[in-house]
């Protein structure tokens, strides 16, 4: 009987589905949280022994070293690396679904995608995905709160009826690609469909889409950016990598993160710095502090004024939080997720 079903009556179909995913051999799950020496720590351990199989067999791929690439500046408040060969994962999923009669429709869709990719790019989907490499980098920048609020107010004044809402962080996804040609072909095919065209920018070729979304490739880097100004700053840092404390890679913040956590090769690792901004709480404070009476409903204005008086100042937010780190490790016994966050910053 699969361990996941030991507590109840095993069902053949349910067992088969769990085996297909790779969860039929899952064991215990433990979660521990503690506040120790000014640091909030969380650990989640899942018993899922090697060799893992089914769709979760992809977790047994080789893990990459926990390193921050040289182009990441300290302007990024969070950096995440996910280590996974998407092409190999795609092949595994397609092979599993190919033997499942109930997944015939999905299998047909994947086959159509392969034909389309081969026609457009000269390679199937798996080959294109593997061309992205195994390191997937995510950079998060502070939200442009003041600018977003000013834009919303201007739109409201023009009769567009835009409400003032909390803006989201600016994000960039970056890959180091071995061959730019397939990606350039893909962007070239997407450009007319998106109503735009490929343009040169800082020596990169890219496409800008509505909603401050942009994709660009050059110097063996593919960048997918979200948020006004995000693409420009990432392309600039790729062309001219930062040095010293301006660089995440060389900064004291990364050293402190390594002091918080052991960072061997991992499926995922992330580092963040909230000392100056206060992290998500700091952004929320800045947003509420910048609200004006006209930004809220009339019956909420008194509550807004009272709440704003209770807010900490920007200076008080500095140093409230410090460096954070998290890592997802693949072990022979299962999966281990660990995170640590300096509270308050030293």
What is the reported pLDDT for 319? 75
Structure confidence by residue, pLDDT tens digits, 222-243? 999 999 899 999 999 999 999 9
Q: Which two tokens stand for residue 198?
A: 């490929």
With cut-offs at 50, 70 and 90, classify the pLDDT of residue 9.
low
Average pLDDT of the residues of the chain: 88
With cut-offs at 50, 70 and 90, classify the pLDDT of residue 1.
very low
For the ranges 33-37, 154-158, 271-275, 301-305, which has the lowest average pLDDT? Answer: 154-158
Instruction: Evaluate whether 228 touches 147 at the Cβ level (below 8 Å).
Output: yes
Query: Can you tell me which residue has the tokens 């009272």?
Result: 306
What is the reported pLDDT for 239? 97
**Predicted model pTM:** 0.86
| Strands 29-36, 213-218: pairing kind | unpaired
Structure confidence by residue, pLDDT tens digits, 32-52? 999 988 899 999 999 999 999
Sign for the pseudo-dihedral over CA of 92, 94, 98, 102: positive
Q: Find the mean pLDDT for residues 301-319.
A: 86
Structure confidence by residue, pLDDT tens digits, 59-117? 999 999 999 999 999 999 999 999 999 999 999 888 888 777 777 888 889 989 999 99
Instruction: Evaluate whether 185 touches 191 at the Cβ level (below 8 Å).
Output: no
């Amino acid at each position: 009987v699969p361990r996941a079903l030991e507590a109840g009556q095993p069902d053949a179909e349910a067992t088969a589905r769990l085996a297909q995913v790779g969860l039929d051999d899952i064991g215990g799950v433990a979660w521990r949280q503690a506040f120790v020496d000014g640091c909030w720590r969380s650990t989640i351990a899942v018993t899922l022994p090697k060799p893992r199989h089914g769709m979760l067999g992809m977790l047994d791929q080789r893990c990459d070293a926990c390193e921050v690439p040289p182009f990441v500046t300290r302007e990024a408040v969070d950096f995440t690396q996910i280590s996974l060969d998407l092409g190999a994962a795609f092949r595994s999923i397609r092979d599993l679904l190919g033997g499942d009669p109930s997944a015939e429709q999905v299998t047909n869709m994947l086959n159509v995608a392969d034909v389309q990719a081969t026609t457009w790019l000269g390679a199937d989907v798996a080959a294109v995905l593997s061309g992205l490499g195994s390191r997937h980098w995510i950079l998060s920048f502070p939200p442009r709160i003041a600018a977003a609020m000013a834009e919303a107010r201007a739109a409201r004044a023009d009769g567009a009826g835009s409400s003032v809402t909390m803006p989201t962080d600016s994000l960039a996804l970056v890959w180091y690609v071995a061959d730019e040609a397939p990606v350039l072909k893909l962007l070239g095919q997407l450009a007319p469909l998106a109503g735009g065209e490929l343009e040169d920018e800082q020596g990169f070729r890219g496409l800008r889409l509505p909603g401050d979304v942009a994709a660009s490739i050059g110097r063996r880097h593919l960048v997918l950016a979200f948020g006004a100004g995000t693409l420009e700053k990432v392309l600039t840092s790729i062309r001219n990598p930062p040095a010293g404390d301006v660089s995440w890679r060389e900064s004291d913040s990364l050293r402190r993160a390594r002091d918080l956590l052991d960072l061997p090769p991992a499926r995922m690792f992330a580092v963040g710095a909230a000392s100056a901004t206060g992290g998500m709480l700091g952004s929320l404070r800045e947003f509420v502090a910048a609200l004006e009476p006209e930004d809220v409903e009339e019956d909420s204005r008194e509550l807004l004024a009272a709440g704003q008086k209770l807010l900490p100042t920007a200076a008080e937010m500095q140093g409230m939080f410090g460096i954070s780190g998290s890592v997802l490790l693949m072990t022979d016994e299962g999966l281990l997720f660990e995170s640590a966050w300096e509270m308050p910053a030293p």
